[in-house]
Chains A and B, each alone.
Chain A
Amino acid sequence: MTVKLAPDLFSPALAKKSSRDGFGKALAELGERDRNVWAVSADVSESSRTHWFAEKFPERFVQVGVAEQNMAGVAAGIASCGKMAFISAFGAFSPGRNFDQIRVSICYNDVNVKIHASHTGLSVGPDGASHQVLEDMAMMRALPNMTVIAPADMEEARKATHAAAALKTPVYIRTSRENAPVFTTPDTPFTVGKANVCREGSDAAIFACGLQVYESLKAAEELKKEGIGAAVIDMHTIKPIDRVCILAYAKKCGVLVSAEDHQVDGGLGSAIAEVLAESSCPAVLRRVGMNGFGETGSCSELYKKYGLDAAGIAKAVRGALKRKK
């Protein structure tokens, strides 16, 4: 059964917002509700959307400057006093630069720190490859005690942040700066670890996270015209991965495609490959993602060039279907 989404998914009237906004909104809501919520920023409070929280709750906001390693450690110290601390920065620097601090000060201590990365993947665009973190989910997925979530749009990011706050353990939330259609609604369900089936189909199943979920919905619409029924699944939680859902579609379709704005090695595609490899369910898998560094360009130009847009995903589905025959 599919989850409830916006009524006209492909309407140009759909609001365009960034998922980082959803995070920032939820953080301010959490701050209102719970005096134990703190936020720590590394000189990017506006662009990583902790500034709404900071304006309302300056007594629970810590500005550490351009010092992501210290940010992670300070948050761990705050959390060790019974608080919930959110750290927020560009993904290239947190977790890109402070992996050791996240591993030991946060995960090994098992303290209640949530890590939000606002600028992730090729979607960072013109800033170029140094800022386009494409390895963060691989790093975070390998850590014990960590949950990894990559929401699909603004509304889902808001819900994911609230869901993360309900956990007492470290959570990594991966959002994007790019304004994109908000196609989930306040009524769309969100449960950590439970994938959302956005569209049914029995020929192939596309598992996507982040901005690629909407691109996959567009791809499925395109494929429908060719008589191909593609299911689209929003895999917002990368760890713990929803094996039940993956195996159900492996059985049903036999053809799976993963799509993510991340290196294909180590991210969502790898997680799905691991589930398939350890199962007795034979299925074809094609992984859409990056194999190398990005470059300067707009988000849509880069997605087109590297096959992360609807056309690229549809092409991967056709290729996977051919391999099955």
Chain B
Amino acid sequence: MNARNKSLMLSANTMRQDIVRMLTEAKSGHPAGSLGLADIFAALYFGVLRHDAKKPDWPDRDRFVLSNGHVCPVLYAALANAGYFPREKLMTLRKLGSPLQGHPHRGSLPGIENSSGPLGQGISMAVGMAIVSKREGRNWRVYSVMGDGEMNEGQVWEALLLAAKYKLSNLTAIIDRNNIQIDGTSDDVLPLEPLAAKLSSFGWNVLEIDGNDMGAILGAFDAARKNFEKPTAIIAKTVPGKGVSFMEGKFGWHGKTPNPEEAAQALKELDEQRKRLEAMA
């Protein structure tokens, strides 16, 4: 296996274990989406983004905008492992006085570009940032992770139209196509298909990948960087709850946390996956 991919997959495994521990301790929060996105966040924070944990306000940093704020455990795990703040703080998630708010708050924690929670808002902010970078001739890029359920919000489509109008090729939106939302599968709640066709008809460069395949993730980010005409949407099919057998694919784990026994089982599975990964050549 490619050493870079292996190292990123190990980072994703560390983040998954952090997510399980944090959410078990917090007793509320959103495990399924957070676990499903760990590979993408590992790729972003340890491979793709130009950033410096020691200089969170570096003007030329790439901007990362989390639009579906409820998956913040994966963002917090990525930031802690990247060195933005001590990992011990992860265990304060959702507790009184913690900078790790239930949904991210800009200003509470270094590395958080935007407060989010109400769906559809992050992508608009990402578009605003990308306009500034492009108009001022900067070379920093903007990345935004969104949920597929989030695409029910009209604001998202307003933002997509504007990004195409201004040909924001410096903007990459990652759509977490895990097909779950609170009331059921997104195919049932409000069908989005044909999503790729919709996005390309909106003027976006569209890539569809397995969002839990590190090679595919890195390949998509590379392809996005090489497009100089259009903003890129990466439709990342992820498995919600990825890495924990009893959570995988179950929308019931959207907003429910594991009890201590379930957490122990989850951590055992993740640890076994880690050992298998480490043993790979």
- With CB as the reference atom, state the residue of chain A lying closest to B119: A100
Q: Which residues of B contact A110 (CB under 8 A)?
A: 106-107
Q: Pick from B115, B118, B159, B162: contact of A109, CB below 8 A.
A: B115
The interface stretch among B43-51, B124-132, B207-215 is B124-132
The residue in chain B whose Cβ has the minimal distance to the Cβ of A38 is B132
Tell me how far the C-beta of A61 lies from the nearest C-beta in chain B, rounded to whole angstroms.
Answer: 10
Q: A60 within 8 Å of B by Cβ?
A: yes
Of the 9-residue stretches A74-82, A193-201, A288-296, which lies at the interface with chain B? Answer: A74-82
Q: Are A104 and B159 in contact (CB under 8 A)?
A: no
Interface size on A, residues (CB 8 A): 28
User: Is the C-beta of A10 less than 8 angstroms from some C-beta in chain B?
Assistant: no
* Contact A80-B129, Cβ < 8 Å, known A105-B124, A110-B107: yes
List of B residues within 8 angstroms of A64 by Cβ: 158, 162
Q: Are the C-beta atoms of B118 and A77 separated by less than 8 Å? A: no
Residues of B within 8 A of A72 (CB): 124
B155 within 8 Å of A (CB atoms): yes
Given known pairs A101-B124, A110-B107, the reply for A83 and B115 (CB within 8 Å) is no
Which of A65, A80, A85, A100 counts the most B-chain CB atoms under 10 A from its CB?
A: A80
B33, CB-defined interface residue at 8 Å: no
Q: Identify which of A59, A62, A65, A77 contacts B161 (C-beta below 8 A).
A: A65
Which of B59, B117, B159: most chain A CB closer than 10 A?
Answer: B159
Residues of chain A within 8 A (CB-CB) of B121 are 73, 100-101, 104-105
Interfacial chain B residues near A65, Cβ < 8 Å: 158, 161-162
- Encode A59-101 as 1/0 by CB contact (under 8 A) with B: 1101011010110111111111111010000000000000011
Q: Are B162 and A77 in contact (CB under 8 A)?
A: no
Please give the number of chain B residues whose Cβ is less than 8 angstroms from any Cβ of chain A in the complex: 32
B131 contact from A78, A101, A104, A108, Cβ within 8 A: A78
Instruction: Give every chain B residue within 8 A of A81 (Cβ-Cβ).
Output: 128-129, 132-133
Q: Are B114 and A109 in contact (CB under 8 A)?
A: yes
Q: What are 18 residue pairs bridging A and B, where the CB atoms are less than 8 Å apart in the complex?
A: A62-B131, A65-B162, A67-B158, A69-B120, A69-B158, A70-B127, A72-B124, A74-B125, A77-B126, A77-B129, A78-B132, A81-B129, A82-B59, A85-B128, A101-B118, A101-B121, A109-B114, A110-B106
Point out residues on B near A: beta carbons under 8 Å: 59, 65, 105-107, 113-118, 120-133, 135, 154-155, 158-159, 161-162
A interface vs B, CB < 8 Å?
Answer: 59-60, 62, 64-65, 67, 69-70, 72-83, 85, 100-101, 104-105, 108-110
Task: Enumerate the 9 nearest inter-chain pairs by beta-carbon distance, A residue then B residue, closest first.
Answer: A77-B128, A73-B124, A77-B125, A70-B158, A67-B158, A74-B128, A78-B128, A69-B155, A108-B115
